[in-house]
Amino acid sequence: MATAKMSKTGAVILPKAVRDAHDLEPGAEFEVIDGGSDITLRLVEGLPEVPKKKLTVEEFLAMRIPYSGPEITDEMINKAILEEANRHGFR
């Protein structure tokens, strides 16, 4: 198990073996999860770039992933949520 120390400025340097194993570069971002006595770092990756300009409605809609399945109604969604809640004992 590798260990790391926090500097006076709050920076934590990950061990070289960990950085190399995950191909981490300077500037890599992590989600910090506070679990009481456990602190977990989760690598943030694959997030899409935020557009630098305002999009028109047409441009935004063109970026959506197309859905070609059957029509899904609000009633179907609500029914599925209630069924799953009941299955887990929530009422």
Q: What 3-state DSSP class applies to 33?
A: strand
17-61 tens-digit pLDDT: 998 988 888 888 898 999 888 999 888 876 666 667 888 999 989
- pTM here is 0.45
- Give the whole-angstrom CA distance, residue 33 versus residue 36: 9
Can you tell me which residue has the tokens 């194993």? 21
Q: Which H helix or E strand runs over 32?
A: strand 29-35
